[in-house]
Amino acid sequence: MFTSKKNRILCATLAAAMIASSAPVMAATATGSLVITATVLASCTVVGSTIAFGNYTSSQVDQTGNIAVVCTNGTSYTIGLDAGAGTGATTSVRKLTGSLGGNLNYALYRDSSRTSNWGSTIGTDTQAGTGNGLVQNLTVYGRIASAQTPLAGVYTDTVTVTLTY
């Protein structure tokens, strides 16, 4: 009997252990959220090239230059050109200043036919565009009119490019 009782206890213990080990484990879960944000600021950069007219011999001289613009995708901008540093210059009649004195008049345009003056009044004589995140090259069309009688020398001017966005 003792063995039988011992066997029953052993069997009951083993059965209880088997039942406990085969019982499903209840798992619990919880969820939350992670908020992700970013801000893209509108920004632009601008770089102008040199317009080298070369030698002037009282005949009309046409030449081009370049303005490189990089603006954030979707950013609207305008490009304006001031009158330059020549004494008495305007955005319609700019003035190259000679190394030995004197001036040589010239003009800058937005179009290849040289009929649309490039000035600095937004909505009137500036060039508008929309950035795409890549370099956009704008051509500046320059002209020195014929029949001028400047002094000999090297003539220079600096025009400020203003990008408004």
Question: What 3-state class would DSSP assign to 3?
Answer: helix
Residue with tokens 């203003």: 162
**DSSP strands (E only) in the chain:** 44-48, 61-71, 76-81, 94-98, 103-109, 127-130, 135-144, 155-156, 161-164
pLDDT in tens, 83-114: 999 999 999 999 999 999 999 999 999 999 99
Are the C-beta atoms of residues 143 and 109 closer than 8 Å to each other? Answer: yes
Mean pLDDT of 111-135: 98
Average pLDDT, the chain: 91
pTM (2 decimals)?
A: 0.80
pLDDT confidence tier of residue 140, bands split at 50, 70 and 90: very high
Mean pLDDT of 71-92: 98
User: What pLDDT does 21 receive?
Assistant: 55
Residues 6+ apart with CB under 8 A from 92: 107, 117, 119
Decide: helix, strand or coil at residue 12: helix
| Segment 7-53, tens digit of pLDDT | 566 556 555 555 555 556 689 999 999 999 999 999 999 999 999 99
Per-residue pLDDT, 26 = 83
